[in-house]
Amino acid sequence: MKKFERVEVGYIDTPLEKMNNLSEHFGDVELYIKRDDMTGLALGGNKTRKLDYIVKYALDNGYTTLLTYGAAQSNHGRLTIAAAAKFGLKGILVSDGKIPEQAQGNLILDRMMDGDVVFIDNENVENYPEHKAKVVKEMIAQLEAKGEKVLELPFGGSSPLGAYGYMQCIKEIIEQLKEKNLKIDYLFCGYGSLGTYAGLKLGALYYEADLEIVAVPVFPKPSSLEACVNLINELAEDLEISIRVKPEDLNVIGGMEDNIYAQPMYGKSSPESRQSMYLLAQKEAIITDAVYTGKILNAMLKNITKPEYKGKKVLFLHTGGAPSIFSTTFMDDIQDEIWNGKVIQK
């Protein structure tokens, strides 16, 4: 297999540990967690594994600016800006909509690291995708006129180069399981911009990991199985390995239309995802967000009560995202649930 080179954007070899209290709470199932919220860079998260390889490519090819896309509370945006700052580059996050009245959550961290956050107004705009592409093209041209060289990163850093980071994560997980003499039956992960799942799936096939990877969508209308297959096969081709997958090889749960775990919308929590977030915090003192990792957690907790999971060992991939909790997008939802009437005044 051909290999890509990396720089150390964040930490790898993140902990893999048993969740004893949560396992006891559910009974008849052993629950484990892979702590990719502990990758170190700017409060951590899974995108650092992708950025290890993307930043190496940028540095080797003379890029001075990393530009990417995401929601206002994008963890990928935060970590792209962080990686840029660490390696002397400029970081830019392009987001849809209007500038929020107040900086909160990830946006505060973006600006602390001197990242540029650019909002493109999407109200009353005909053919917004075309308009957005035009605005970004003009912005890049202006930067290049000043001598910058801009590398555009896709949403979530989900290129074949980025997905390779999670292909290598599977190798890391296999080694940790061997050290613990542990056999995992299921691994739950997110299915959003596709890079994390695509890398894990190809890695599981290449390194012959004896576990089932269960993908949980974070978009109510998830990216197509064909798009994921294309990313996996493109990475395999780039690596000069013979593995190829088909849509029927993928295990994506909850439906490809109106996905039951991704409601009500991307970037918005559900009561179920918040309750799952609270439960993990109460049982293990591990903090997730409520809109990405929290939805994946909720899907896992719903599924492990099914008969086929009885007696199985299940691994949850924690991809980070806790800084986004500290924004009104989420705080407004949880105010009544854990604060109003819940705090003691003496």
Q: Which of 74, 95, 193, 269 is catalytic?
A: 74
Task: Specify whether 23 is catalytic.
Answer: no
Cα Dmax for the chain: 68
Bridge-based pairing state of the strands 212-217 and 186-191: parallel
Q: Give the integer Cα–Cα distance in Å for 316 and 80.
A: 24
Question: By CB neighbour count within 10 A (0-12 exposed, 13-18 middle, 19+ buried), where does 17 fall?
Answer: middle
Locate 275 and state its tokens.
């309750």
Q: Give the integer Cα–Cα distance in Å for 303 and 93.
A: 35
Q: Give the integer Cα–Cα distance in Å for 173 and 179.
A: 10
Proportion of the chain in helix, strand, coil states, percent, rounded to 5? 45, 15, 40
50-60 burial, b at 16+ Cβ within 10 Å, e below that, comes to bbbbbbbbbee
DSSP 169-220: HHHHHHHHHHHHT---SEEEEEESSSHHHHHHHHHHHHTT--SEEEEEESSS
Which amino acids are annotated catalytic? Answer: 74
